[in-house]
Chains A and B, each alone.
Chain A
């Protein structure tokens, strides 16, 4: 939110990002345009809008970009949920590997190295959950009758996320959602780090559409996601404006989205996340079958 607010004024960058040492006097640095991440591709905003963040041009997502991201997330969801838990765990671990190898890039964007490392470790932690959460959160129910009865968790579907400002926060809301087979549309706060994370994801065997990242003004796009009938849940972790949070929660009631309310603004996401972030985005499916011959 903070980054977006600053950029909103279209101010010039105070200083360019540190990419190369400015030794050679004649060479002009190449600036990157930070684009959206939708369906595994990096499109510009359909609106053609950009905004400046620390000297970089960043795509300013529109409601139509949000709509496209939901389409991409919905298209990817059944196959991602249908992948084996082992496979999803492997993909998450691959994300950790790729993130580890690009630590410096995040550091150059101002993310403390310790935080990048914590984010890598968080991916590793969730990677291991992929094939365990069903055992911890599901089980056999000893019903009073001749029936086999089991409850198993399933992903809730497409999850919209208003991400917290910190990089570790961003990873801490995406990972628990996707590890169980949900797909996400993320409204990112720190755009450069978020798009760089998207580049990590794009090179980590994450199927296109599983994670979609939009940069821009969450207050503009979030209401469209909150009221979208093809979104199953919304995580308001990064919403700091309580009136906006209430408005979004109210809009989410339209199709009875699962709502994760804004967390403690002081949360640095360093602690043990516990099961809640995963469980909140799971449905429990209970299957009965008679036993007999």
Chain B
């Protein structure tokens, strides 16, 4: 075999401070007496990257108060001026994308080629897109005088730390809201870097506040009476708790939650591209993707061909150092997540399906999981119903389009789905009947700031991206 020599991206392009405060009202502050500190580690090595502040109730109070006092002037600013701040932020992100990509891979464990080629370009594009809306809101179809809501509490997950930040902050700011954002406990660094970008852009203090911490900080923020709007991306279980806690408060709420997407391969599919789509659907970002194609539905008449190609392709996946430019599969984000994947895959093994992984050496340090497929899975198995959020694919079969649709929809989730076929009428008919917010036909895991993203049923409500994404932040 033609072996590639190590090709590591330079870690030294980004400076990581030994410790970080909370970004409140335009400055980094130490947490108050109710707060604390925690460490963030590189999941590929378990090395501590930095010490980060845990915001306590007092800190949340201060952050919400800062956002509240910034709201008046910020929302009164002409849209064209708000737009220019966002354009400026977008440009700085472009200029500093190499630093950010390295930082994201260090803190998250995702391969540098993904943070460099997927996350960062989409982050910058998202700010550019919503920048342009700031002075055009009256043309967006939400009435003649659309108004911002106020202070938005935003809680985001660890799988795409900076991209999820962009999805939350860009539309909120474009519409004239101010924000308090809490990044995930295991991936706070890129959000703190973004705080610095806000300063570099001379964004008025208090418009963006970044507070770090674990679930308790998030809960305090979401339940804070000074908050007018809550936006959350994360698990369905936490989403449910937030929906309960927001009940009766009048706070506006949007939720992007879990998924268990069906990726449906018909026997007339472009097989080689379908196999790429299957691989991209479940192994992109270690499967830490809410819209991952985690249930593969293959038409029985194409089963052998698809599975043979898929296994051959999986054998070429390169797992290892996230900073190596040739790495396809990086580290699992945390020990906790690795444990969850193990519990569910162990259940999968015990319930009967056949488990397969390509030969794959896992590094001794850090959190790793080999790309895995289960065949012979039925709808009754846990691995076909529960979101694993890891590089684990459950393979099911079907005979007819109606059966594929029925199986695809047989889940409380409804975030995304894939369809592979060369027959246009089949694609359109199936797309029409799938109960999911994003349908990828002959492609998978594609994202764009102009394209609304969000789920049906227990995958949450509201849309992010596109004109639709403005609605969540307009009164």
A, B assembled together? yes
B268 to chain A, nearest CB (A): 15
B contact residues around A286 at 8 Å (CB): 437-439, 451-453
Interface status of A144 (Cβ within 8 A of chain B): yes
Interface status of B90 (Cβ within 8 A of chain A): no
Measured between alpha carbons, how far is A156 from B461 in the docked complex, in Å? 10
Point out the residue from A141, A229, A246, A255 that lies within 8 Å of B452, measured CB to CB.
Answer: A141
Chain B residue with Cβ nearest A258: B461
Measured between alpha carbons, how far is A151 from B439 in the docked complex, in Å? 10
Measured between alpha carbons, how far is A219 from B248 in the docked complex, in Å? 16
B contact residues around A86 at 8 Å (CB): none
> Contact between A256 and B450 (Cβ–Cβ < 8 Å)?
no
B424 to chain A, nearest CB (A): 9
Chain A residue with Cβ nearest B468: A284
Interface status of A271 (Cβ within 8 A of chain B): no
A283 to chain B, nearest CB (A): 5
Contact-residue size bin, chain A (C-beta under 8 Å from the other chain) = 35 or more
Measured between alpha carbons, how far is A252 from B242 in the docked complex, in Å? 12
> Contact between A246 and B453 (Cβ–Cβ < 8 Å)?
no
Per-position contact with A for B427-448: 1 when CB-CB < 8 Å, else 0? 1000100001111111100101
> Contact between B439 and A287 (Cβ–Cβ < 8 Å)?
yes
> Contact between A151 and B468 (Cβ–Cβ < 8 Å)?
yes
Measured between alpha carbons, how far is A142 from B450 in the docked complex, in Å? 6
Per-position contact with A for B238-261: 1 when CB-CB < 8 Å, else 0? 011101101110100001010000
Interface status of A9 (Cβ within 8 A of chain B): no
B221 to chain A, nearest CB (A): 18
Point out the residue from A275, A283, A289 that lies within 8 Å of B427, measured CB to CB.
Answer: A289
B contact residues around A279 at 8 Å (CB): 471
Per-position contact with A for B441-471: 1 when CB-CB < 8 Å, else 0? 1110010101111101110110100111001
> Contact between B442 and A289 (Cβ–Cβ < 8 Å)?
yes
Chain B: residues with Cβ within 8 Å of the partner, total of 43
Measured between alpha carbons, how far is A77 from B403 in the docked complex, in Å? 19
Per-position contact with B for A267-286: 1 when CB-CB < 8 Å, else 0? 00000001100010001111
Measured between alpha carbons, how far is A279 from B471 in the docked complex, in Å? 10
Measured between alpha carbons, how far is A147 from B461 in the docked complex, in Å? 25
Per-position contact with A for B34-58: 1 when CB-CB < 8 Å, else 0? 0000000000000000000000000
A contact residues around B456 at 8 Å (CB): 156, 283
Count A-B contacts at CB 8 Å.
Answer: 103
Chain A residue with Cβ nearest B439: A287
A contact residues around B247 at 8 Å (CB): 246-247, 249-250, 252-253
Point out the residue from B125, B236, B437 that lies within 8 Å of A256, measured CB to CB.
Answer: B236
> Contact between A141 and B466 (Cβ–Cβ < 8 Å)?
yes
Interface status of A263 (Cβ within 8 A of chain B): no
Measured between alpha carbons, how far is A141 from B255 in the docked complex, in Å? 22
B442, B456, B471 pick with most chain A CB within 10 angstroms: B456
> Contact between A288 and B439 (Cβ–Cβ < 8 Å)?
yes
Measured between alpha carbons, how far is A137 from B412 in the docked complex, in Å? 25
B240, B427, B460, B466 pick with most chain A CB within 10 angstroms: B466
B contact residues around A256 at 8 Å (CB): 236, 239-240, 243, 255, 257, 457-458, 460-461
> Contact between B125 and A144 (Cβ–Cβ < 8 Å)?
yes
A contact residues around B244 at 8 Å (CB): 250, 253
B406 to chain A, nearest CB (A): 12
Given that A256-B458, A256-B461 are contacting pairs, would A274 and B143 also be in contact in the complex, using a CB cutoff of 8 Å? yes
A-B residue pairs in contact (CB < 8 Å), sample of 12: A141-B448, A156-B456, A249-B243, A249-B248, A252-B243, A279-B471, A285-B437, A285-B439, A287-B431, A287-B438, A288-B438, A288-B443
